[in-house]
Chain A
Amino acid sequence: MKALEVHNLRKEFTRRDSRGKRRVAALGSVTFDIERGECVAILGPNGSGKSTLVRLLSTLLLPDGGSAAVFGHDAFKDTRAVRRLVNRVSVEASFFKKMSAAENLSYAARFYGMRPSATKDAIPEILGRVGFPKDRRGEPMENLSRGMQQKVALARALLTSPVLLLLDEPTTGLDPRSKQEVQEFVREVRAEHDATVLLCTHDLAEAETLADRVGILDGGDLLCLEPVDQLKARYRSSTLEEAFFAASGHAFENGDREDD
């Protein structure tokens, strides 16, 4: 069974501007699948539809067409089953800022059925694994750096042992060291927990380092999805940036067309 099967998935949003009200496609007709244990990176500039894809798979958006299945469960009909299997880390850490890391993790774990007897040990352990300092667990989130907050976001996602981890630009805005630590942790999670990872990023190096296969998403359309070497060979490019240019016809950062 595939970890993820996406078939002709489509999402549009209504926009109001000087031209009036119109429908804009955030995600065209996207089709791909991911094997269990695989790490697939979807590469795309801002506004290419990466976050829309992650939100659809997280059951936070309803599609306008197509289908998606997580380990055989329909992502839009069998949402309860999908939610048990999936967790997500997004570019914004999103926590109650006055609450501490331990408090934010504690209540969130309850939503996944984890009782206090389970989180008592699991929270300090997972925070320790992501390199979060022990003496700062009780501090309000607003006192923490962006890198620290992102580590807590990773801990929140992994605390619930997801079999499909959706990473939406998890290292954007992090300093090089924090970025490296997060990437290292993603590798560790794959190796130790048999987790399947869908990484949406605009960091070309990150996609190349972490993923088994890389897809190029541009203007809501998935132009290709294959191992990095094959991708480069197909477009006769020495770098992913060149491959993106060859595939899309424009430079990597010029794709800001539509809000994700």
Chain B
Amino acid sequence: MRTMSLALRHELVGLSGVIERNIYLVRRYIWWDVAFFLWTVANTLTIVFIAKGIPAVGGQIDVEKVTTILLVGAVIWAYLGIIFEILTETVAWERWEGTIEYTFMAPLSRPVHLFGMGLFAIVYGVVRAILLFGVVAAFFSLHLPDANYVAALGVLVVASISFIGIGMMTAVLPLISPEKGTQLGFVAQGLLLVVSGVYYPVSVLPTWMQWIAKISPATYALRGCRRAIINGAGITELWREIWALLIIGVVSIPLGLYTFRSGERYAKKHGKLKRSG
């Protein structure tokens, strides 16, 4: 019992070390993060302006509603980007700096190491998503009296379990290819969102894509967040989305861990952990 409690304490301290490291990195690169956030705001604005543009070319839509639909899509795109970036780029960064060998030779279990990065990514991503939503909503003077922000946040956090699982799978790519692995992470992000109805309803997709959408966590995250913000749906009304996200999460986390472990084994077999910078 005592041995187990000591081991658990050791792992928790290790987990705090992963978070501590990422906090230091954010602090040391804070102005780069601010610049990247400004780019994300600009990117989101270009998408959300589409809602304003449609009536200008003669289309008839509910501008406020479409603006919100696009905004939720853009915020989730950015959130997913941050999750994948932190998980994948940290591994690439560690290979670049050469610290990955020291991380991998430490007595810290791989799940705890990856969960630590995931936990930090969720907290950092959520703060950034809230800021992004707030800034762009204020820019367009969006009036959302029915929005249930707590429920939307709840959906996002539950969706994060699946996102972390998929992020673990993409995080293995820089172990195999430090040069191109990170870019492949962006490919995964794009593929996930294109089938999930990021700026349009899933129903407009070809049938085969709609089938893929059913197993994409982003589909339920987008639908749940939109229902919470536009219709004011509460957690109980979003149970279908949350349930689907939990099931996908339960599958994706072990799959992500298995994929990362397989990649780590491959890297150790072929001597790929050496510094690449």
Q: Interface on A for B, CB 8 Å cutoff?
A: 13-14, 26, 52, 55, 58-62, 80, 83-84, 86-88, 90, 92, 94-99, 103, 106-115, 140, 156
Per-residue interface assignment for chain B, residues 1 to 41, with 1 indicating a CB less than 8 Å from any chain A CB and 0 otherwise: 00000000110011011101100110011000000000000
6 A-B residue pairs with Cβ-Cβ distance under 8 Å, sorted by A, are A59-B104, A62-B269, A83-B106, A92-B275, A96-B28, A98-B29
Cα-based distance from A156 to B21 in the complex (angstroms): 15
Q: Which residue of A lies closest to B29 (CB)?
A: A98
Chain B contacts of A156 at CB under 8 A?
102
Cα-based distance from A59 to B102 in the complex (angstroms): 10
Q: Interface on B for A, CB 8 Å cutoff?
A: 9-10, 13-14, 16-18, 20-21, 24-25, 28-29, 93, 97-99, 101-109, 265, 268-271, 273, 275
Choose from B13, B14, B28, B268 the contact partner of A99 (Cβ within 8 Å): B28
Chain A contacts of B268 at CB under 8 A?
60-62
Report yes or no: A94 in contact with B271, Cβ–Cβ below 8 A: no
With A86-B105, A107-B21, A110-B17 as given contacts, are A95 and B99 in contact (CB-CB < 8 Å)?
yes
Report yes or no: B106 in contact with A108, Cβ–Cβ below 8 A: yes
Report yes or no: A60 in contact with B107, Cβ–Cβ below 8 A: no
Cα-based distance from A59 to B101 in the complex (angstroms): 9
Chain A contacts of B28 at CB under 8 A?
96, 98-99, 140
Cα-based distance from A253 to B273 in the complex (angstroms): 26
Report yes or no: B98 in contact with A103, Cβ–Cβ below 8 A: no
Smallest beta-carbon distance B194→chain A, Å: 35
With A94-B98, A94-B99, A95-B99 as given contacts, are A80 and B107 in contact (CB-CB < 8 Å)?
yes
Report yes or no: A58 in contact with B13, Cβ–Cβ below 8 A: no
Smallest beta-carbon distance A95→chain B, Å: 7
Chain A contacts of B270 at CB under 8 A?
13-14
Smallest beta-carbon distance B208→chain A, Å: 38
Report yes or no: A113 in contact with B29, Cβ–Cβ below 8 A: no
Report yes or no: A95 in contact with B97, Cβ–Cβ below 8 A: yes
With A109-B17, A110-B13 as given contacts, are A99 and B105 in contact (CB-CB < 8 Å)?
no
Chain A contacts of B17 at CB under 8 A?
107-111
Cα-based distance from A87 to B103 in the complex (angstroms): 11
